Amino acid sequence: MQPILFWTVGAISLVAGLVAVGHTRPQKSTQGLLALMAANLVILFLLSSTLLAFELLFVVLGTAVVIWVVLVRQGRMKLGAPGRRRYNITKFLAFFVAIWLGALIWWALNHSVKPAGKCVEGFCPQVEFGAWTAVFILSIAAVSATVVVGVRRHKDREREGEAE
Amino acid sequence: MIPSVHVLVLGLLQFTVGLVGLLLRRPGMVVVVSAVVMLNGVLLLLCATAAESSLSQVEGVVVLALIVAVALIGSAILYSFHRFRKTVLVDEHDRMKH
């Protein structure tokens, strides 16, 4: 089971790496790098390198904060209609949701790596539980963000339709 | 348990992707990102050898610090280039003097 999960996350990291290297827009490139580092974070948990994983977690969160401050807060990245400058409340809220989810992952992993049993024949239940928890919560975050952004775009299109 | 060979292959692939970007792309930001991708591959390679060596975790921390340093210093150099030359394309920066 672990090799399958490993190669699934590995494929995500490779695709993110290709996006980071190959995209023409530097903003997308930076977002690809962030996705690659997040995927590597999960891989490090799978490899039981908890120390490195937590350090990488700090780096990923720091990168996310810098991107938010430099790109999103400046109002340069727009979700809605082109040519309209506005500060996006959705992204502002998403930032705090991301912090909350990060804290939740931290809590879940801290509780999951407690010695609840011995690793037998390469099967380490506490580490596997931690990795699955991280993947599960990150999946929920990704789905929620997609839904929120989709609803927002839909409302923007409706408003533009009414204005026309 | 994940075999070390799998981790080595993934780390090598990430390193190759970063190397290709470092050699072929012109925008400065993408060059910095490619260097960070390469260092992420190195981090995975170190983790693959963590079972054999007790020093690998410490070396991994050093590589992580290096990743952050490359990103920060690279961005600062790019900012400086952009300030004086008004471009971030690495081909345009052929002099250290501005």
Inter-chain CB proximity B34 and A3 less than 8 Å: no
How close B9 comes to chain A (CA, Å)? 10
Give the pLDDT confidence of A116-156 residue by residue, as tens digits. Answer: 455 655 555 555 565 666 666 667 767 776 777 777 777 77
Inter-chain CB proximity A52 and B67 less than 8 Å: no
Q: Which DSSP letter does residue B18 get?
A: H
* Nearest beta carbon to residue A51 from set B17, B57, B68: B57
Distance CA A29, CA A63 (A): 13
Domains and CATH numbers, chain B: 4-92 (1.10.287.3510)
Contact B74, B32 (CB under 8 A): yes
Contact B83, B22 (CB under 8 A): no
Give the pLDDT confidence of A81-114 residue by residue, as tens digits. Answer: 455 555 555 566 666 667 776 666 666 666 555 4
Q: Which of B65, B2, B9 is nearest to B39 (CA)?
A: B65
In chain A, residues with a C-beta closer than 8 Å to the C-beta of B30 are: 20-21, 23, 26, 29
